[in-house]
Amino acid sequence: METTAQKYFHWGAIGSLVTLIVWCVLWETVLAPLKPGGSWLVLKAAPLLLPLYGVYKRDIYTLQWTSMMILLYFAEGVVRGWSDTGSLSAWLGWGEAAIVCVYFVCAVLYLRPYKRAAKKMARELLDKVKVNTVK
């Protein structure tokens, strides 16, 4: 059973993932592309489309691996925020890093009760194994 906080974290994860997809597409096509008229770097948004359905359906495994995969976008945002010469492009980089932080926090906080339950079940199973092997 999900708590109200978990529902907010789930919707925060979905919202930030969709925002990141739109952000990347707009950044590389309209706002500050590397080349005038857009660049092939817009394809960086394509891998973000793969987990979108799983995140929407609350798939635990998808939320787990995307919370790690999304850190690549964080690294890209920080590097481009720090090193891009165009001020708009730099701000877009920092914005990308901020959106990734929102997704990461929402995903981890949504998954926390499931992680606790898994640890509890593992502990109980180990206790049963210990009891059965001692006899």
pLDDT, tens digit (0-9, with 9 covering 90-100), for 112-128: 988 888 888 888 888 88
DSSP H or E run through 51:
none
Q: Which two tokens stand for residue 105?
A: 């926090």
Q: Which two tokens stand for residue 101?
A: 């932080």
Residue 1 confidence (pLDDT):
67
pLDDT in tens, 2-59: 889 999 999 999 999 999 999 999 999 999 888 888 788 899 999 999 999 999 999 9
Residue 85 confidence (pLDDT):
81
Task: Count CA within 13 A, CB hemisphere, residue 121.
Answer: 6
pLDDT in tens, 50-93: 999 999 999 999 999 999 999 999 999 999 999 988 789 999 99
- Please calculate the CA angle 76-56-14 and round it to the nearest 5 degrees: 45
Residue 130 confidence (pLDDT):
74
